[in-house]
Amino acid sequence: MRQTNPKSLLESISIRLQALFVALVLFVCVPFIVPERYQGLAFPAVFTIVTLAALASTGQRRRALIIGFVLAIPAVIAGWLEPTDPTLAVVGGGFQVLFMSWVALSLLHHVLGAKRVTAEALFGVASVYILLAAIWAVGYGIADTLEPGAIMLSADAAGVADLHSVDGEKIRSYFSFVTLTTLGYGDVRPVSDVARILAMLEATLGQLFLVIVVARLVGIHTVQAMRRDGETEISA
């Protein structure tokens, strides 16, 4: 029976996580770098790539792969169809949130269970952070569907933001990252109660994520260093 090389397996997972990270960066940049007339195809196409990269990175076990496909298929379909009916838009956005949340939790479980700080772990952490912003960006779109005008621009900009237009994709992504990192420029602000709750949760989670995950990685790195020093003293 052919045995799998653990080293090659780890390298394969690391490459998949790197691919996922690159796909996520491209996903959040699409509204800003792709011309408006091509965004109707570019956005769902890149989301499909993100989905495939996420399944490849998290679907190491059969059960996880099945769960991923069950959540991914309606999420991808919703991205391509771009339903105009509010109910379908909310359902489609809900599946996208569920899928990306499942991917983020799977990656976080993998990272927190790591025994060493590697490039694989770092790319996993970075991917989870971007996924958090993407999840909340979709959440703001759902909030605006349920209550139009949930997000407003400053008086110097334009007033009410249409989060379902091409510019709306930019606003959702921009506002989500600004909130997650607690920059708070003030040029975009939540108005409805649902949007404000989402913003509070995102800002809090963004800070907790950095504190908990960074502390975990520092602890793992400290243990690694102590073990290396111990092995060096023994060999000496």
The per-residue pLDDT for range 61-105, each reduced to its tens digit, is 788 889 999 999 999 998 888 766 778 888 889 999 999 999 999
The pLDDT score that the predictor gives to residue 26 is: 93
Amino acid in position 54: A
224: left (phi over 0), alpha (psi -120 to 50) or beta: alpha
Enumerate the H helices of the chain as residue ranges.
6-33, 39-58, 62-81, 86-112, 119-146, 166-180, 193-235
- Domain ranges, residue 163: 6-211
The pLDDT score that the predictor gives to residue 11 is: 59
Residue 96 included in any domain: yes
- Angle 31-147-88 (CA atoms, 0-180°, nearest 5)? 70
Residue 123 included in any domain: yes
The pLDDT score that the predictor gives to residue 2 is: 46
Residue 235 included in any domain: no
The pLDDT score that the predictor gives to residue 165 is: 54
Which of 151-165, 189-203, 212-226 has the highest average model confidence (pLDDT)?
A: 189-203
Residue 232 included in any domain: no
Residue 66 included in any domain: yes
Q: What is the dihedral of CA 216, 221, 227, 232, to 10 degrees?
A: -170
pLDDT grade, residue 153 (50/70/90)? confident
* Averaged pLDDT, 197-224: 88
Residue 225 included in any domain: no
Residue 234 included in any domain: no
* Averaged pLDDT, 208-233: 77
Q: In this model, does residue 163 exceed pLDDT 60?
A: no
The pLDDT score that the predictor gives to residue 139 is: 94
The pLDDT score that the predictor gives to residue 35 is: 84
Domain count of the fold of the chain = 1
Task: Show the tokens assigned to 33.
Answer: 């770098």
Residue 186 included in any domain: yes
Q: In this model, does residue 162 exceed pLDDT 80?
A: no
Q: In this model, does residue 110 exceed pLDDT 70?
A: yes
